[in-house]
């Protein structure tokens, strides 16, 4: 491999010498070396995580880019190594997404159009599409892209049978791993879903026990940042059988409120 080397020669710190180096030599910043290679082959970016062989380590996080078959297919077509689909639950009928799904908070006078934006609130919920529709699309994606990693993100109420049914149904589609949503701050906390579990280590340990006793694919627990010490639930998830943790979900904020109508201002 031909290379150029910047070296301190004859007292001149900018002298340039040309030499041939073995192909096994790796580029380094030490000694001001700069390598110019005529080898134009693609680098090997493949990785293996929890037994999942990915063509590269770039993964689409659960959210709008994993909403449906079309956008997930596009991600694979553009070269992403893995996609984590938008979170699904057994009953999508209880989910009502709105548009727009972001609200801003400005400094200064409430509602001032000139005030600096100091906060963003994400009010996006989990998938509001029927579970059967999402499962059908998971199966189609795995059929078309068997070499890519598809990860199902799931969230369910505080119900062992419900978790077991959801895991069984998503695994039947051929997905490669499961991400458990313990992080969504809008995940119907009154039903003990989402961050309501991720913020309660005792509850988290119990639910992780149910999940890992049922799942046959790797399980990653998605952590919430809205907690004093994120390492506590992360350790609980790992000690309860999860292969890994994913971080993070929405950071909570507040939004502007119209003082005339008392309505939020997304």
| φ, ψ dihedrals at 94, nearest 5° | -85, 0
Q: Any idea which residue has 């970016």 for tokens? A: 45
184 is catalytic: yes
Strands 33-34 and 52-54: unpaired
Q: How many CB atoms lie within 10 A of CB 86?
A: 25
Q: How many CB atoms lie within 10 A of CB 52?
A: 16
Query: Are the beta carbons of 233 and 258 closer than 8 angstroms?
Result: no
Alpha carbon distance, N-terminus to C-terminus of the chain = 57
User: How far apart (Å, rounded) are the C-alpha atoms in residues 148 and 163?
Assistant: 26
Q: How many CB atoms lie within 10 A of CB 110?
A: 13
Sign of CA dihedral 26, 27, 33, 36: positive
User: How far apart (Å, rounded) are the C-alpha atoms in residues 93 and 159?
Assistant: 18
Q: What angle do CA 195, 199, 205 make, to 5 degrees?
A: 105
| φ, ψ dihedrals at 40, nearest 5° | -105, 15
Q: How many CB atoms lie within 10 A of CB 98?
A: 9
Query: Could you give the residue numbers annotated as active site?
Result: 184
């Amino acid at each position: 491999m031909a290379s150029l080397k910047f070296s301190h020669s004859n007292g001149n710190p900018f002298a340039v010498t040309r030499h041939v180096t073995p192909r096994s030599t790796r580029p380094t910043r030490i000694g001001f070396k700069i390598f110019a290679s005529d080898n134009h082959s693609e680098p090997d970016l493949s990785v293996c995580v929890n037994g999942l062989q990915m063509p590269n380590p770039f993964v689409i996080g659960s959210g709008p880019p994993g909403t449906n078959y079309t956008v997930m297919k596009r991600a694979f077509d553009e070269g992403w190594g893995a996609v984590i689909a938008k979170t699904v639950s057994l009953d999508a009928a209880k989910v009502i997404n709105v548009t727009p799904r972001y609200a801003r908070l400005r400094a200064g006078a409430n509602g001032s159009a000139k005030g600096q934006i100091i906060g963003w609130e994400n009010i996006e919920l989990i998938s509001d599409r029927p579970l059967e529709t999402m499962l059908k699309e998971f199966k189609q994606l795995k059929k078309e892209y068997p070499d890519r990693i598809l990860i199902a993100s799931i969230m369910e109420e505080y119900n062992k049978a419900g978790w077991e049914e959801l895991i069984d149904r998503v695994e039947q589609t051929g997905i490669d791993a499961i991400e458990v949503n313990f992080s969504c701050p809008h995940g119907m906390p009154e039903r003990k879903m989402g961050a309501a579990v991720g913020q309660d280590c005792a509850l988290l340990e119990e639910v992780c026990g149910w999940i890992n006793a049922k799942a046959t694919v790797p399980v990653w627990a998605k952590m919430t940042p809205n907690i004093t010490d994120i390492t506590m639930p992360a350790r609980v998830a790992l000690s309860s059988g999860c292969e890994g943790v994913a971080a993070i979900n929405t950071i909570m904020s507040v939004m502007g409120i119209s003082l005339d109508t008392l309505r939020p201002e997304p």
